[in-house]
Amino acid sequence: MSVFDSILKPTLLLDEAAAKRNIARMAAKARAVGVVFRPHFKTHQSHEIGAWFRQEGVRAITVSSLDMAEYFAADGWDDITLAFSANIRQIPAMNALAERIHLGLLVESVETAAALGAGLGAPVDIWLKIDGGAGRTGIAWDNPEAAARVSAEVLRKPRLNLKGLLTHAGNTYSAANPEEAGAAFRQSSERMQAVRASLQTAGVPPLLISVGDTPGCSALDRFEGVDEIRPGNFIFYDAQQLRVGACQFEDIAVALACPLVALHPERSEAVVYGGAIHLSKDTFEWQGSRAYGLVCLPAEHGWSMPLPDSAVTRLSQEHGILNLRPKDLARLRVGDLLCLIPAHSCLSVQSMGSYLTLDGRPIPMMRA
Amino acid sequence: MSVFDSILKPTLLLDEAAAKRNIARMAAKARAVGVVFRPHFKTHQSHEIGAWFRQEGVRAITVSSLDMAEYFAADGWDDITLAFSANIRQIPAMNALAERIHLGLLVESVETAAALGAGLGAPVDIWLKIDGGAGRTGIAWDNPEAAARVSAEVLRKPRLNLKGLLTHAGNTYSAANPEEAGAAFRQSSERMQAVRASLQTAGVPPLLISVGDTPGCSALDRFEGVDEIRPGNFIFYDAQQLRVGACQFEDIAVALACPLVALHPERSEAVVYGGAIHLSKDTFEWQGSRAYGLVCLPAEHGWSMPLPDSAVTRLSQEHGILNLRPKDLARLRVGDLLCLIPAHSCLSVQSMGSYLTLDGRPIPMMRA
């Protein structure tokens, strides 16, 4: 009996072997060049999957919320960076966690540094959150005065251990190919080194440099000037990473199996039970327009290559509208399953809340 | 102590009084014109909130998944339409539910009708799912031959009780104002009547007409030719409905309270803890571009009017990037809370998974 026979409704399939290969490859790469591999666990959010990283020697992790830090601390992880600019409303809970584990926090303002310094009773590592050009948040890399002001405030607080500079090179996601992703990663790393040099000139002790992002870490084999990498998405990859060239199709380790509920050959479309609440509404650029995912068929050991010219073109709460070629539509029947490769696996995983391996084993994950 | 003092992380606030007013208004409107009010419960997904509808005399409801039908059946709801083209992989579970309650299903193909007829042992109501022009799914309203074929298949099956025609006038969402939404709703209703007339000519017994959508049901006071309305979103409304003119700002009953973690006055932006996993990535058109939500301040009894020229302009997994005027940024500090009005409340509610009322009472909802 195939795993597909047991699937009645939208189900997140996990190719365990592919995920383990992805973990092993990134861990080996980090070992080879001697950088700390601190993978981002927001992508999988699962104790069981976390254990696969332990088998590769991983001891330090990254998370994106305090709840997630607590979830993984409960499973024995004791070196956790909360890679989100510290939310000072949660200082009491941060403090409770910092009493039990080695906790790293991100700071990008004097105000936050002051609040942490005043509110925390346990020691924490502090990373200055630097915006290396992606424009989301952080101290602008070309504003060394701001970095110096925040550093000075951190250094004044006895329980704040100024550890390093941390950035997320999010602009690698818009790269057209691995070379561009690698170049964006390198540019971001060089900017961190410039910030570090400028802080050293101002009297700040030498700082570590931590850089994230899956496209850059996948594209490069060496990470000059970087002490730590924090990719997360690489464990599953997705359609967006495939577009950037960060992975091969066979590296993609999750797909959403969805029952077909309607065929509309007159407009080259099919409709599946599987919508925004399952796949998420994130998109990627595909053949000149935006798409929510790619469309594959169930296969003996997982799913097929994407159907040519196929895409998930529209989503409502539970409906997924697929564009398909007439010859593919002609082979399909209501009740069939299709496997959708998400635009962004992190958000699809978060939406689904659990996995089913290809041999039919459910894997739970945390729920907020 | 204000409810805001207790909020440490992204929290979905519910203005219970506004939601109850919205329910009472729509129920009164349906009573006044004698249409069945079968509200869509996918918006709130909560036993407790369902009880507020009971107090307004509601006895029949709409849901979007079998899991949701089971959740509400467990709370005593016994007349439920599953308004999603039937997924024939779930026939055994549908059958188990149909043995306990009055269940309505949607059919849009001969194949699905045949599978339901063969697989169901308990009687169910069947609604033909008609596409009245929105182009999502259903039998095209201008294809009466297809409607006649599906009807004939349903009528051949003894346990399938052909009840009516059902459509979701989803094109009302793109209306520029209530008049356009009302016109789209009326056009959709007239098309249903044309389908019904054509089926009657072909010998099909008279069918009921069920029409959904919040913009149309909010814009109109009469629903000529319609037997049943199924709005859902109206209980909470949102920024998208405000844009269409389906509600007033004070009718909006949910907002996401988010801690401020960074200020970037040099680019007129602030960053909150509250991202795609909280608000969802749905957008609405606002001042000529796409936005994920509107930005308000906490107020004594809920939240303020939206800050002028403010919007949630970007979202990543946990980050929300807000565009704000310099004078508003200047009043804010890290650790403050902001209240975001979602583009689409149904998806934000689904993402958050629970509510906090303005008097600090948590209300749970179903989790898949």
User: Which residues pair with residue A296 across a beta bridge?
Assistant: A339
Residue of chain A with shortest Cα separation from B354: A368
Cβ contact A319–B271 (<8 Å)? no
Q: Would an 8 Å CB–CB cutoff place A367 in contact with chain B?
A: yes
Question: What mean pLDDT is reported for chain A?
Answer: 96
**B86: contact with A, CB 8 A cutoff:** yes
Q: pLDDT digit string (tens) for A305-326?
A: 999 999 999 999 999 999 999 9
Question: Among B198, B207, B138, which Cα is nearest to B170's?
Answer: B138
Cα–Cα nearest to A214, from A68, A70, A14, A44: A44
CB–CB of B271 and A137 under 8 A?
Answer: yes
Smallest Cβ–Cβ distance between B368 and the set A264, A353, A368 belongs to: A353
Of B67, B87, B282, the CB nearest to A259: B87
**Residue tagged 């099956």 (tokens):** B157
| Cβ-Cβ contacts under 8 Å, A335 against chain B | 87-89, 111, 115
CB B212 within 8 A of CB B233: no
Rounded Cα distance between A231 and A247, Å, is 13
Q: How is domain B78-231 classified at the CATH fold level?
A: TIM Barrel (3.20.20)
A190 and chain B in contact, CB less than 8 A? no
pLDDT digits (tens, 9 = 90+) for A193-241: 999 999 999 999 999 999 989 999 999 999 999 999 999 999 999 999 9
Contact with chain B for residue A95, Cβ under 8 A: no
Mutate to test the interface with B, among A3, A4, A5, A9 (most CBs of B within 10 A): A9
With beta carbons under 8 A apart, name residues in chain B contacting A64.
Answer: 317-318
Determine contact, residues B296/B286, Cβ cutoff 8 Å. Answer: no
C-alpha–C-alpha distance, residues A77 and B132, integer Å: 54
Residue B265: DSSP 8-state: G
**For chain A, domain boundaries:** 3-11+248-364, 17-237
- Say if domain A17-237 classifies as CATH 3.20.20.10: yes
Strand partners, B242: none
Task: For chain B, positions 258-297, list CB contacts with chain A under 8 A.
Answer: 259, 261-264, 266-267, 271, 273, 276-277, 280-282
**Looking at the partner chain, which of B136, B276, B337 has a beta carbon nearest the beta carbon of A282?**
B276
When pLDDT is averaged across residues A321-349 and rounded to a whole number, the result is 97
ipTM: 0.95
Q: Which pLDDT does position A287 carry in this prediction?
A: 87
CB A225 within 8 A of CB A193: yes
The predicted model scores a pTM of 0.96
Which residues have a Cβ under 8 Å from the Cβ of B7 and sit 6 or more positions away?
A: A89, B257, B259, B337, B356
CB within 8 Å of A239: residues ≥ 6 apart: A252, A284, A286, A291, A293, A294, A341, A342, A343
> Which amino acid is present at A249?
F
The dihedral formed by the CA atoms of A269, A272, A277 and A280, expressed in degrees to the nearest 10: -50
Q: Give, in words, the CATH class of A3-11+248-364.
A: mainly beta
> In this predicted structure, what is the pLDDT of residue A282?
94
B1 CB within 8 Å of a chain A CB: no
Q: In angstroms, what separates the C-alpha of B238 from chain A's closest C-alpha?
A: 15
Q: Mind spelling out the 3-state secondary structure of chain A?
A: CCHHHHCCCCEEEECHHHHHHHHHHHHHHHHHHCCEECCECCCCCCHHHHHHHHCCCCCCEEECCHHHHHHHHCCCCCEEEEEEECCHHHHHHHHHHHCCCEEEEEECCHHHHHHHHHHCCCCEEEEEEEECCCCCCCEECCCHHHHHHHHHHHHHCCCEEEEEEEECCHHHHHCCCHHHHHHHHHHHHHHHHHHHHHHHHCCCCCCEEEEECHHHHHHCCCCCCCCEEECCHHHCCCHHHHHHCCCCHHHCCEEEEEEEEEEEHHHCEEEEECCHHHHCCCCEEECCEEECEEEECEECCEECCCCCCCEEEEECCCEEEEECCHHHHCCCCCCCEEEEEECCHHHHHHHHCEEEECCCCEEECCCC
Interface test with B, best of A106, A329, A334 (most B CBs within 10 A): A334
Q: Is the pLDDT of residue A86 over 70?
A: yes
Calpha distance A322→A328 (Å, rounded): 11
At residue A12 the predicted structure's pLDDT band, cuts being 50, 70 and 90, is: very high
Smallest Cα–Cα separation from A136: which of A190, A67, A188, A66? Answer: A188
CA B324 – CA B270 distance, rounded (Å):
7
With contacts defined as CB-CB under 8 Å, which chain A residues touch B347? 276-277, 281, 317
**pLDDT of chain B, 368 residues: tens digit per residue:** 799 999 999 999 999 999 999 999 999 999 999 999 999 999 999 999 999 999 999 999 999 999 999 999 999 999 999 999 999 999 999 999 999 999 999 999 999 999 999 999 999 999 999 999 888 999 999 999 999 999 999 999 999 999 999 999 877 878 889 999 999 999 999 999 999 999 999 999 999 999 989 999 999 999 999 999 999 999 999 999 999 999 999 999 999 999 999 999 999 999 999 999 999 999 999 888 999 999 999 999 899 999 999 999 999 999 999 999 999 999 999 999 999 999 999 999 999 999 999 999 999 999 75
Alpha-carbon distance of A340 to A252, in angstroms, equals 11
Look at B317 and A8 and tell me if their CB atoms are within 8 Å. no
Query: 3-state class of B116 per DSSP?
Result: helix
Is A368's pLDDT higher than 60? no
> A91-126 pLDDT, tens per residue?
999 999 999 999 999 999 999 999 999 999 999 999
Nearest to B68 by CA among B44, B98, B102, B38: B44
